[in-house]
Amino acid sequence: MKKNIAILATNGFEESELASPKAYLEEQGWNADIVSLKSGTIKSWKDGNWSKEYNVDVVLDQANEADYDALVLPGGVINPDLLRREETAVNFVRSFFESKKPVAAICHGPQILVDADVLEGRKVTSFFSVKNDLKNAGAQWEDSEVVVDNGLVTSRNPNDLPAFNKKMVEEIKEGIHERQRV
């Protein structure tokens, strides 16, 4: 069955953490829309420098969680920090948890989950520098390649992308997770 996946990102996302999951989702025969704050393109970050631009498929103000089966949150230092400042982005993320849909976040991507207030009691991982932020939001952080908790998939960094992509697709194939919660 064809799935529609939202990838929420803005300028400063870690290139591999968007490109790799997007390609992997599309290999499944699924649609993966880049959803962002504004139309046009967003610029990636790679090896400490600005890199390629990616086309935005859907502007966040026009995006609706009901149109998607899951959400992917790439990292990068700049990307999640800019997104978490925007109430529409935080609400969009939270809506996936309210609808019990799979959410996959890698590296610094889980930072927006703090603002969405969805981490209490959840098992997660992330880039090590944000672990205290996640713990302070009530998460149980562990240093693992990939952590899955009732539809929430998290990984630490680009090295974990193969495991992240595999688990993300498994959770999406499972569909609604009744134990996914806000």
Contact assessment for residue 16 and residue 26, using Cβ atoms and an 8 Å cutoff: no
- Note the pLDDT of residue 162: 98
Q: What is the CATH number of the domain that holds 72?
A: 3.40.50.880
Q: What is the CA radius of gyration of the chain?
A: 14
Residue 92 has pLDDT above 80, yes or no: yes
- Note the pLDDT of residue 180: 78
Report pTM: 0.97
- Note the pLDDT of residue 178: 81
Q: CA-to-CA distance for 14 and 133, rounded, in angstroms?
A: 20
Given 25, 63, 71, 107, the catalytic residue: 107
Per DSSP (E only), the strands in 89-165 are 103-106, 123-124, 140-141, 146-149, 152-155
107 tagged catalytic: yes
Q: What percent of the chain has pLDDT over 70?
A: 100
127 tagged catalytic: no
22 found inside a domain: yes
**Parent domain of 75:** 4-174
pLDDT digits (tens, 9 = 90+) for 1-10: 899 999 999 9
- The number of folded domains in the chain is 1
Given 108, 122, 131, 156, the catalytic residue: 108
pLDDT digits (tens, 9 = 90+) for 52-76: 999 999 999 999 999 999 999 999 9
